[in-house]
Structure 1
Amino acid sequence: MATSPPVSDEALLLRLRTRQLLLVALVGRERQLGRAAEAMGLTQPAATRLLRQAEDTLGAHLFERQARGMEPTAAGEVVIRYARQLLVDFGVAREQLAALGAGLAGHLRIGSVPGALPQLLAPVLADYKRRHPRVAVSVLVETSDAMLERLRGGEVDLVLGRPLESLFGDDLDSRLLLEEPQVVVVRDGHPLLARKRLALADLLAWPWVLQPPGSPQRTRLETALAEAGLAVQLDMIETASTVATTALLAASDRLAIMPASLAAHYAGLAGLKVLKVALPLRLPSIHLVTRRRRALPPAAEAFVRELLAGRR
C-alpha cells in the first residue's frame, strides 16, 4: 500500500490560519476556551471549530479538557511556544515599521548585565549612535539569567551577559568579550576601610546588598562561601538594580560585589570604595549572546559588527 508523501512546511502553513494560532496562544494563556474566544470576539462554538481545524491541520491533539479548564498536551506546548513566538516577532515587526514611519532606520534592542555597561557597552553604543542616528535604541539591564530568558522570548535582539552552563543551551551562540575580577565595594568612610588586613570571614557579620538567587554572581558567592566552610545566613537585601545597590551602600554600612570596572565607574559618581580583600569569586566572562538560527535585524547586525571590531 502506497504511503502519502509528507506535507511540506510551505503547504502546511498555507492550510494553517493565523486565527488558529492566535486561539492556541490564548487558550494556552487563559486555560479556558470561553475566555480565549471572548478575547478574540468569537462565540465558544466558533472557537471550538477553529481549534478543531488547527488540530486537524497539524495532525495532533493540542488540549485536554479537565475540571479546572484546558490543559495543553505535549504537542500543545510545542504549538503554544511557536504561536507565542510568532506574536512576539509580529510585535517586533510592527515596532520596526513604526520606527521607519517616524524617519528612523530600525530598532536595536540590547539586553545587558550591569558589569558590561561602563567599559564595554557605553563607549561602543555612543559611537554606534553617532554613525546611525536614525536607529532607535533601547537597553534593558538585568542579571544574566533574566536577560537570557528575554533573549529566548524574542524581547531583545542580543545580550551582553555571563552564560553560566546551567543557563545555556544549544539554542544560543556566544562570543567572549570581556574578562575582569569581582571586588567588594562599600561607601566612603566605611569602618572596614580602616582595616589593613581583611579576609572573607571578616565580612560575614556585615549586612550586604546582593543580586537575586539564580544570578551568576549570587550563585558563585554562595559556592565560594560553602567551599571555604563559611556558609552562614547573611543579612542581605536582594536587588538586580545597580542604582538601588549604590543608593543602599551610600545610606548604610552594607557591602556589595561588583565587577572592577563598574566599581571604578561608581567611585566617581557615588563615592564607592573597594575593600582590600581577596575575593575567591570568579564569574564567567561577559559574552555577546545571540539566538542560533535566528537572523539579526539590520540594526543589530551593524551593532554587532562595531562591537566585535572594537575587541580585536
Structure 2
Amino acid sequence: MALNAQTLLRRLTTRARVRHMQALIMLNDLRSMSRAAQAMGMTQPAMTQLVAELEALLETTLFLRHSRGVDPTPVAQDLMPVARRILAAMEEGAELIATRIRRDSGPVRVAATVAAMGGLLDPALPVLARSHPNVQVQVDNVMGQGLSASFSGTEFDLILCRRLAVVHEGWTFVPCRHDAAIIVAGARHPLAQKTGVTAADLGAARWLQNHVATLARHVFDDLRERYGWVELDEVQFISRIPMLIWSMLKSGELLCLTPRSVAAAWLLDGSIVELDFDVGAPLEPIGFYWKLDEAGPSTRHVAQGLLDLRDRAD
C-alpha cells in the first residue's frame, strides 16, 4: 500500500536528518557519489549509506546509478526545493544565533571616520576603559565609499560619523558633538597668537591642502573664492591620515583648514592652535548610527559612553 502524506511526514520529522538533505542536494548538483562525498567531507560508503537511509524512509528510489555517476529520479527532483529551503532556514538560524551571541557577549565593532575618531573616540574611550574594562571595542577607520558600505549587513554595531543626508534603513543617528570648519597651525606659527587674523594674512600664508574628496577641501575652495585667493603658496603633500597632517603642521610653517573634530586632540594638548578667524562654516554634528533594537549590552555601554561625553560637553 502506498505511503500517505501523514506517514511520510512522521518519518521525516522523527528520523530524517539535515545531513540527508545535504546529501540529496550535493548528489543532485554533482551527479557523482565520489565527488559528493568529497564535497561533504566523508567517504563514499558513508554517502551511499546516507542515500540508502533516506530512500528507506521514503520507500522509493531517489537516484539511478550508472557508469558515469547518478541521475535524480522525479521524486528526488520534487524534494530538491524542499531540501534547499530546509538548509537555507538552518543557515539563517545559525546566523541569527551567532549574531545574538556576538551582540550579547562579543566585541563591539565600530566603524569611525577621521572626524569621529578625533571628536568622539579619543576623549570617550579612556573613560569607557575605566568604567567598563571588560568591554572589547574593535575600531575600523572608514571614509568615502567605505563609510557607505559599512551600513550594509551586520559587520558593525556602531558607525561613528557626521550626520548624513540620506538615512540608511534601520539605522538611527544620535548626535553627540557640534562641529565647524576652523583654521589651525602649529603653536610656533607667526599667526598662532595673533588676535584678529585677517583674510590678507591667510592669503599670504603657506597652506597644507586637504584631499579633494574631503569636506574640508570643499569648504576651503569656497573660502578661496570668497576672498579671491588666486595664487596661494601650497605644499603639494596631500594626505587623509591625521598623524601625517599633525606632523606637517607642528613645525609652525603651515596652515590647514580642518573640522574642529579632526584637530580636537591636538588642540587639547596645545601642539596645534586654532587661529582667530571665523571661517563661517558650521558642519553637520558628529555622532553615531546604530540599530537600537538590536544593540546588545556591550554596544549599549559604548553608546552610553559617547552620550556621557555629549552631556559633559553641554
Q: Tell me the TM-score normalised to structure 2 length.
A: 0.55
Higher relative contact order (CA 8 A, sep 6+): 2
Find the counterpart in structure 2 of residue 177 from structure 1.
Answer: 176
Distance 2:310 2:243 in 1: 27
Report if aligned partners of 1:209, 1:239 keep a CA contact under 8 Å in 2: no
Q: Secondary structure of 2:211's match?
A: coil
Report if aligned partners of 1:225, 1:231 keep a CA contact under 8 Å in 2: yes
Find the counterpart in structure 1 of residue 136 from structure 2.
Answer: 136
Distance 2:227 2:107 in 1: 47
Report if aligned partners of 1:220, 1:282 keep a CA contact under 8 Å in 2: no
Aligned positions of 1:184-263 closer than 5 A: 184-193=183-192, 196-200=195-199, 202-204=201-203, 206-226=205-225, 230=229, 235-251=235-251, 253-260=253-260, 263=263
CA distance change for structure 1 residues 146 and 236 in 2, over 3 Å: closer, same or farther?
farther
Report Cα offsets for 1:3-23 as digits up to 9, x if no partner.
xxxxxxxxxxx9x99xx9xxx
Distance 2:150 2:203 in 1: 34
Aligned positions of 1:1-312 closer than 5 A: 93=98, 105-117=105-117, 120-143=120-143, 146-152=146-152, 154-165=154-165, 168-170=167-169, 172-193=171-192, 196-200=195-199, 202-204=201-203, 206-226=205-225, 230=229, 235-251=235-251, 253-260=253-260, 263=263, 265-267=265-267, 269=269, 271-290=271-290, 295-308=294-307, 311-312=310-311
Aligned length: 230
Distance 2:194 2:302 in 1: 45
Aligned partner of 1:302: which letter?
A: H
Report Cα offsets for 1:16-55 as digits up to 9, x if no partner.
99xx9xxxxxxxxxxxxxxxxxxxx89xxxxxxxxxx9xx
Distance 1:200 1:142 in 2: 34
Report if aligned partners of 1:115, 1:258 keep a CA contact under 8 Å in 2: no
What's the offset of the Cα at 1:107? 0.6
Find the counterpart in structure 2 of residue 4 from structure 1.
Answer: none
Aligned partner of 2:287: which letter?
A: H
Structure 1 unaligned segments of length 5 or more: list them: 1-13, 21-40, 43-52, 58-85
Report if aligned partners of 2:151, 2:168 keep a CA contact under 8 Å in 1: no
Report if aligned partners of 1:200, 1:279 keep a CA contact under 8 Å in 2: no
What's the offset of the Cα at 1:273? 2.3
Report if aligned partners of 2:118, 2:263 keep a CA contact under 8 Å in 1: no
Moved more, 204-213 or 247-256: 204-213
CA distance change for structure 1 residues 222 and 173 in 2, over 3 Å: closer, same or farther?
farther
**Structure with larger Rg:** 2
CA distance change for structure 1 residues 190 and 311 in 2, over 3 Å: closer, same or farther?
closer
What's the offset of the Cα at 1:260? 4.0
Report Cα offsets for 1:176-230 as digits up to 9, x if no partner.
2111433211122223337554334543454433443333333333344445555
Distance 2:144 2:170 in 1: 16
